[in-house]
Structure 1
Amino acid sequence: MKTKIKLFTLSFHLTIASFSNANFYKIIAQENLKSLANIENDQKEGFCSFIEKIDNQSFGSVVKTKLEKQLNPNTHDKRRLIFSLLDEYEKNHETPTTSIIDIKTIQDLELLCGSKSNPQFYLGSQIDRTITESGRIALYKRLIQPTSNTEELQSQQEIIKELVNNQELFNELNDTLKNLTIPENVVLSFWDSEDIFKMMLEQNKVLNIPFLEKIKSFKKLSRWVNRSEKILEGRGRIITVFDWVSTALMLYGAVELPFYAITGKNITDKLPIKDFNKIAPYTITGAMCWAFGRVFSEQWNSRITGSIATNNYARGLYYYYVEWDTEKIIVNGFQTKMSHVANYINSLQKIASITSQNPILNQKLTTVKKFNKNLEKLASKSNDLKHLFRLLQTNTIKKKENANRFLDFWSRIRVAYILMTDLKNDFIDAMLAVGELDAQLSIAKLYKEFENKDVKFCFPTYLKETATPAFSIQESWNPMIAPEKVITNNINIGSTYHSSPNAIITGPNAGGKSTIMKGFISAAIMAQSLGIAPAKEFALTPFKNIITYLNITDDIAAGNSYFKAGVIRARDLIETVENNTDGFTLTAADEVFGGTNNAEGQAAAKSLIQTLGENNNNICITNTHFPLITDLQKETGLFTNYKVSVEYDQNGNIAYPYKLENGISHQKIALKILREEGFGDVFLDRAQNTLENINNL
């Protein structure tokens, strides 16, 4: 059964604040899981529905289905699992965070989740070229954690340049990461609370005696026995021998008794029926057949008794085969999972070998450097880890020998699974390192992908030792627009480029003002997080804060109207700028105070933009329809007016160039857009008359 995703599966509660005092992975999860709102996920099964499924299918079929879902889980289940384990991990491990952007800015720019109409379309998804799920989370983490530390940014660029220019290194890492796709899914399944394989082991422990398990010494003994493949192997061999003897006797009975029933004679005197009956009770199936035959032998002659016994033996053989086939499926499932775990560990070791030999990756990537050191120590961290690593290297788990053969080594797989379940948290650091490396490779892929296209990514220049902030971008483009359709734009801001420190953008509806401004701000965030930016050239002073006033909506739950919500956000902008006394701030404001009457809205908007623009440590970029705001260029000399315009084709229809140019826009095309969208003449004539009356006031 399928059901729509429940957005708050992890019970994450989001607050609009910096990340400094927040559970970081919860914040990412809260935003990003909303992007999967239109993806169906498997409904969690209760015990009754699980039993019903077994009634409708064979248990072997259920196990096969569960295994397939663990090897190839859907996007939501996989994302939920990794967020859950990272959330738990973060409770015991400090996660370094920055507070350059806040949650509202992440939402405004759609960094982790798209709009309500298309939640899967967001900046993170558009730039994502990762292979692993841990890599995807690492990329999102990096995207929303920009830094203003120039040395860190330059180190980040060195890493990307090494991956871009060193083709052999790039290919080797990429191929190794590709081999991790299914193994990572399997490793993540060990955090699944509904793992059927774990439940089967729990129900079939040796010395599984509920009351005695509460005794400490017995519990210790039980733990030792269930983690000793030699003891379990010996036990398994004994059981296997008895199973084969039982099968042989049932087979003999199924052949001998029909012959005896017909002829009254034995096929051979060496194994007469009376002797067989003495042996049969030593097996459960044989005992039942023997008892059944004994009861009927008192009432029926030997031929009838033989026929009944024959049927019982034949049924016993059939059910034995069914049980054997089911056990084979189960054992193969365990073996498949553990072979993928072994592949995961082997790939980790290969990655460690590759990165340790590259001085740039080994020195510049802190997570990978730590991983390389810790991986060597991991195998010797405890006796259980040593035991697990040794088992993972056996041919049984590598699937080089059949785990179902006579006198098999199933116990090795069983013990390895138990150990991996117990020790899974020791592998989280390794998973994070793989994710970080995959994220870096993804950034390099993104850069390489656009090298020969009309629009490109560049390595920004970080300006140092400037008294005021500066921002210069050439052929900038918004990654949320298809590369083959997007239009590039340029802008220079700041005294470094002999320009004013702030920009005002005017233009008609749908002309591209918001898209262009969002492109500029997104480029700054990517420059300070990924080390690359969507532009031909980009130079900027690293900003200590980047904050936006976009997509303001009313908040009914908080009792805030559209206008009041805008007031609260405006206060956030002013406080952020005023409190940032030892760094630079980049602010972006789109159509501020549009939720009140025109006169008061213009007055408040002009005051806000002027307040932001007069701060020497701040760059303000704003879009507006309010004419009063454009007066700030003449009145203060701190602003430059830019505009986007529309054109008309030969049929009189609106055409959008989406180009930014100097000046103030006076175009009004709202009624024209309404006409093109099919509104009738009566409606438009009435609107036109109203507009003329307003203009004549």
Structure 2
Amino acid sequence: MRIISYLSFLFCLPPCAIAIEGSSSMATQLADHYLKSFVESVNPLPKMDPSKQTKRLDTTITEIHLSPKTEREVVFNKIFAQSSYYQTRFQQSLFNPYGWHDLHLFYGTTTAPGYHFLSRINRTLTVLGEGALASLIGAPIADLEALTKRQEFIGLLCEDRPLYNGLKSALQDYQPSEKAMLSFWTETDPLYAKEYDKYLTRLFYTGSAASNKSATTLQTKKIWLRDIWNIYSNYTWYPLIGLPIAGIVYQFISPDTHKDAFSMLYLNWLPAYNIYHTHEGIKELKQAGGNTHGLDAVLYVPPILYTIHSFYQYYKGYRNYKEYAGVLHHLALRMADVQNFLITAKKVQKLVAQNPAFAAHYGLQLEPINRLLARLNESSEVGNLLRYLEELPLRSWSYIWNHAGKLLASYKLFLAHKAVFHDAMYALGELDAFLSIATLMEETAALNGPHRYTFTKLLSPKGYRKPRLALVEMWNPMLTPTTAVGNDLTMDEASKTRNVILTGPNAGGKSTFLTGVATAVVLSQTFGIAPAKSCELTPFSKINTYIEIADDIAAGKSLFMAEVNRFQSHLKLLKQLKKAEFSFTIFDEPFSGTNPVEGSAAEYSVLNYIAEYSNAFNIVATHYPVVMLLEQREPQKGFKNYKVFIKSIGKDGKIHYTYKVIPGASNQTIAIDILAAQGYATEMLEQARDIINHPEQYRKSFAK
């Protein structure tokens, strides 16, 4: 039969390395997965009425419109993916290539993409924290020392309320600035608009990139061209013109009148006062017997025109002041969002330094923040940037009293060196992630329900030559802790259990149990916590899933071939396991993509084969009864039957599920009862029951 040749091919595979997901960075892979959980409708931009269009440039650059999806895309693809610190922390994953998808870690089903594991445990305050939390969940570790330290971080945060509240407060202060700061890493930020960039350059910058980073150069241009020429000169236009003109006329008048001539001439150039001065001159002339020949009104025309034009110049000066002050004010507010990150980093550094116990455990995680802040003392462009951000009053900006050159230079310096913030941004996000876990544990405990999160007892591989996993009252975090059902499971050498065969009726909770155990392992090897009353485990070097396998029509692969390929990858992985490495795998109905006779035969033989690997734990949910025989026929391989069962079918005909998992082989069949509960025709169900009760009458084989 064809299935036999598939299996022969499967068991004879040579060992080879498995690439997790190509050569792309983990941040990029996370973005590909997580962004699927955001369903955003794209509304077409409204068309503007041509009659209402204006040529006036919009200088309001503080209105930032980033969708939640775009924010996270920026964090993963533009910041984390470009962070060298991030890359060194996330070089490998214990997951097989399917774990993220199978466990719905970062996106849910097609009908509810936003309901996933991350959404259930996320309590972060920032998008950076959310990204860091996703990164940590996506890359469990087997390093016992590192896991123990993570447990201690979370334990200290739970116990030290002043520290917890202080760090949380610092992140809350940063939160309002995050959207605007992330916008600097997009291509659509209002500051980057071509017209606005030209406008800003014309007003305050030069054609030299080096000069645009010099606070002194930019301040000089601002003072001479904007302040003196475009603002102050408008207020002194006629008085300034009057000085040289009065001086010239002064040279041609009689020396006898020199005493008062200059002042009299100059007063004609003082706006408003020159009207009064003209009036008084005419009055004195008439009192002295002079004659204006009826030209009084004409004599008033020049001073009035001068005054009107001068007031127009005043208006221009004020208008220029408001425009320039507005531009710099908005730029200051945008840079204040970057400044707020720096302020938050300094607060965190100070809070941790004040807590020696936490600093001793968490100091290395803050190294990127410490490195960034240490550059405040550098004589470099980065040092200048950080000092400007530290000293400028950006939230209360004054055009007159504050140093515009430093503000303008800080913007250009930030654009040139924003990559120096990447590592520190991840470090701040990671701190938020640990705070989130402490908050999660606190919130769940406060419910006073039957379930909560507890710290996992991590067992050293040095003391355990073989793997161990022991869970008491384990519950699935995808469910509400107040209503979830807890289950126990022990797998180790002492209990002679390495391979669990899980059977039972449909909708009885098999898949929920499988993913619950898997997520308990993931959380234990990420933060050292588990959704259980107690949890003990030896860290696993490989965490594998075999769930929701789909066909690949485009590649010409049927569902069964997809299953064969998945098992092929799993066998490669097992063959690579070293003596001191342990593997944990969950299987949900393997080889269900072919007929039951061959599917059950394949599942039985494949599970029996992989059970030879004594360092591997496997939990298999199946509907094939023949697989339950492995416990009896292969006792030396650690097979153990477990079952989910229904309590009863009540008088009302409804099925009452317990969702409990206990040792033993299942003997309950309720598929027909489910059909009956859904209103299927009686004659149809009677025939189905007849087939179940008299299988010998319906036996047919594909074999010749």
Q: TM-score range by the shorter chain?
A: 0.7 to 0.9
Q: Deviations over 1:387-440 (max 9, x none)?
A: 3333334454131x543x6x8755543333222222211111211110111111
Pair 1:663 & 2:664 matched: yes
1:552-591 counterparts in 2 under 5 A?
552-582=549-579, 583-591=581-589
Q: Which residue of 1 aligns with 2:30?
A: 28
Q: What is the CA distance between 1:446 and its match in structure 2? A: 1.2
Question: How far 1:625 moved relative to its partner?
Answer: 0.6
Aligned to 1:228: 218
TM-superposed CA distance for 1:525, in Å, is 1.0
Residue in structure 1 matching 2:64, options 66, 69, 80: 69
Is 1:203–2:193 an aligned residue pair? no
Are the equivalent residues in 2 in contact too, given 1:361–1:368 (CA < 8 A)? Answer: no
- 8 Å CA contact 1:380–1:386 kept in 2: the answer is yes
- Kept in 2: contact 1:20–1:98 (CA 8 A): no
Deviation at 1:157, TM superposition (A): 0.8
Single out whichever of 534-543 and 369-378 deviates more from structure 2.
369-378
Report the CA distance shift for 1:367/1:267 in structure 2 as closer, same or farther (over 3 A). Answer: farther
User: Aligned match of 1:272 in 299, 303, 312?
Assistant: 303
Structure 2 stretches lacking a partner, 5+ long = 1-16, 242-270, 276-293, 699-704
Q: 1:696 to 1:242 in 2, by over 3 A?
A: farther
Q: 1:203 to 1:683 in 2, by over 3 A?
A: farther
How far off is 1:86 after superposition?
2.7
Q: Which amino acid aligns with 1:473?
A: L
User: Counterparts in 2 of 1:372-521, with a 5 A limit?
Assistant: 372-394=369-391, 396-399=393-396, 401-403=397-399, 410-452=404-446, 453=448, 454-464=450-460, 465-496=463-494, 498-521=495-518
Deviations 1:433-490 (A, max 9, x none): 1011111111111111222432111111122221211111001000001222210100
Residue 51 and residue 123 in structure 1: after superposition, are their counterparts in 2 closer, same or farther (change >3 A)?
Answer: same
Distance in 2 (CA, whole Å) between partners of 1:191 and 1:508 is 52
User: AA paired with 2:641?
Assistant: N
**Contact kept in structure 1, 2:71 and 2:182, CA below 8 Å:** yes
Q: Which residue matches 2:641? A: 641
| TM-aligned CA deviation for residue 202 of structure 1 | 2.5
Does residue 242 (structure 1) correspond to residue 233 (structure 2)? The answer is: yes
Select the residue among 582, 595, 603 that pairs with 1:605.
603
**SS of residue in 2 equivalent to 1:110:** coil
Distance 1:493-1:82 versus aligned 2 partners, 3 A rule:
same
Q: 1:243 to 1:636 in 2, by over 3 A?
A: farther
1:546 aligned partner: 543
After superposition, the Cα gap between the structure-2 partners of 1:219 and 1:178, relative to the gap in structure 1 and judged at 3 Å, is closer
SS at match of 2:63: helix
Considering Cα pairs closer than 8 Å and 6+ residues apart, tell me whether 1 or 2 has the greater RCO. Answer: 2
Q: Secondary structure of the equivalent of 1:141?
A: helix
Greater Cα offset, 120-129 or 340-349:
340-349
1:458–1:534 Cα contact (<8 Å) kept: yes
Q: TM-score, normalised by structure 2?
A: 0.80
Q: CA separation in 1, counterparts of 2:644 and 2:511?
A: 10
Deviations 1:62-93 (A, max 9, x none): 655x63335xx321121111122136515797
Structure 1 residues 460 and 274, CA, compared in 2 at 3 Å: closer, same or farther?
closer
Deviates more, 1:463-472 or 1:266-275: 266-275
Residue by residue over 1:524-570, the C-alpha shift from the partner in whole angstroms, topping out at 9 and shown as x without a partner, is: 01101111111110001111101111111111222211111111111
Please tell me whether the aligned partners of residues 472 and 540 of structure 1 are also in contact (alpha carbons under 8 angstroms): yes
| Alignment match, 2:104 | 110
Q: Distance in 1 between matches of 2:51 and 2:665?
A: 71
Instruction: Tell me the distance in 2 between the aligned counterparts of 1:54 and 1:28.
Output: 46
Q: Do the aligned residues in 2 keep the contact of 1:504 with 1:630 (CA within 8 Å)?
A: yes
Matched ranges for 1:49-64 at <5 A: 56=53, 64=60
1:189 partnered with 2:183: yes
CA distance in 2, matches of 1:490, 1:417: 58
Aligned AA for 1:23? Answer: S
SS of match in other structure, 1:588:
strand
Comparing 17-26 and 538-547, the one that deviates more: 17-26
Residue 10 of structure 1: aligned partner: none
Conserved? CA contact 2:170–2:348, under 8 Å: yes
The equivalences for 1:115-130 within 5 A come to: 115-130=109-124
Q: Distance in 1 between matches of 2:319 and 2:568?
A: 71
Total equivalences in the alignment: 624
Contact 2:551–2:558 (Cα < 8 Å) also in 1: yes
Aligned equivalent of 1:654: 655
Residues 356-397 of structure 1 show CA distances to partners (whole Å, capped at 9, x for unaligned) of 333344343365341353134221344323333333344541
CA, structure 1 residues 499+247, in 2 after alignment: closer, same or farther (shift >3 Å)?
Answer: farther
Determine which structure has more spread, i.e. the larger CA radius of gyration.
2
The 1:124–1:63 alpha-carbon spacing in structure 2 relative to 1, beyond 3 Å, is farther
Counterpart CA distance in 1 for 2:31 and 2:586 is 26
Distance 1:266 1:455 in 2: 96
**1:695 Cα shift?**
5.7
Q: Structure 1 CA distance, aligned partners of 2:386 and 2:689?
A: 78
C-alpha displacement of 1:331: 3.9
Give the partner amino acid of 2:610: L
Kindly provide the CA deviation profile for residues 227-263 of structure 1, in whole angstroms up to 9, marking residues without a partner as x: 63344244321122135568999xx89xx9xxxxxx9
Query: For residues 76 and 246 of structure 1, what CA distance do their matches in structure 2 show?
Result: 54
Q: What is the rounded CA distance, in whole Å, between the counterparts of 2:498 and 2:162 in structure 1?
A: 45
SS in 2 for 1:103: coil
Q: CA deviation at 1:679?
A: 3.2
**Does residue 337 of structure 2 align to residue 370 of structure 1?**
no
CA contact (8 A) 1:459 1:533 kept: yes
Partner amino acid, structure 1, of 2:26: F
TM-score, normalised to structure 1, is: 0.81
User: 1:554 touches 1:560 (CA, 8 Å); kept in 2?
Assistant: yes
Residue 114 of structure 1 and its aligned partner are, at CA, apart by 1.1
Q: Does structure 1 retain, via aligned residues, the 8 Å contact 2:96–2:545?
A: no
Distance in 2, matches of 1:42 and 1:383, equals 45
Provide the rounded CA distance (Å) in 2 between the counterparts of 1:266 and 1:193. Answer: 62
Q: Deviations over 1:276-335 (max 9, x none)?
A: 69x77xx9x87xxxxxxxxxxxxxxxxxxxxxxxxxxxxx96x99888766665444323
Instruction: Give the SS at the match of 1:179.
Output: helix
* 1:85 aligns with one of 78, 89, 100: 78
3-state SS of the aligned residue for 2:477? Answer: coil
* Change in CA separation of 1:244 and 1:516 when aligned onto 2, cut-off 3 Å: farther
Q: Does structure 1 conserve the Cα–Cα contact (< 8 Å) formed by 2:157 and 2:163?
A: yes
Structure 2 contact 604–626 (Cα < 8 Å) conserved: yes
Q: Partner letter of residue 100 of structure 2?
A: I
SS in 2 for 1:631: helix
Contact 1:342–1:398 (CA under 8 A) maintained in structure 2:
no
Change (3 A) 1:581 1:343: closer
- The answer to whether the 8 Å contact 1:514/1:623 transfers is yes
Q: 1:136 and 1:264, CA in 2 relative to 1: closer, same or farther beyond 3 A?
A: farther
Structure 1 distance, partners of 2:80, 2:633, is: 52
Q: Name the SS for the 2:641 alignment partner.
A: strand
Instruction: Give yes or no for the alignment of 1:626 onto 2:620.
Output: no
Partners of 1:335 and 1:607 in 2: CA distance = 69
1:260-283 Cα deviation digits (max 9, x unpaired): xxx997699496256569x77xx9
Q: Tell me the secondary structure at the aligned position of residue 644 of structure 1.
A: strand
The separation in 2 between residues aligned to 1:391 and 1:245, in whole angstroms, is 34
Q: CA deviation at 1:572?
A: 1.6
Aligned to 2:336: 339
SS in 2 for 1:131: coil
SS at 1:643 equivalent = strand
- What's the C-alpha RMSD, in Å, of the aligned pairs? 3.7
Q: CA deviation at 1:675?
A: 2.7
Task: Give 1:356's aligned residue.
Answer: 353
Three-state SS of the structure 2 residue aligned to 1:95 is helix
Quick check: 1:157 aligned with 2:151? Answer: yes
CA contact (8 A) 2:375 2:386 kept: no
Decide whether aligned partners of structure 1 residues 463 and 224 sit closer, same or farther in structure 2, where only a CA change above 3 A counts.
closer
Letter in 2 for 1:636: E
Answer whether contact 1:630 1:641 (CA < 8 A) is retained. Answer: yes
1:507 and 1:105 map into 2 onto residues whose CA distance is: 24
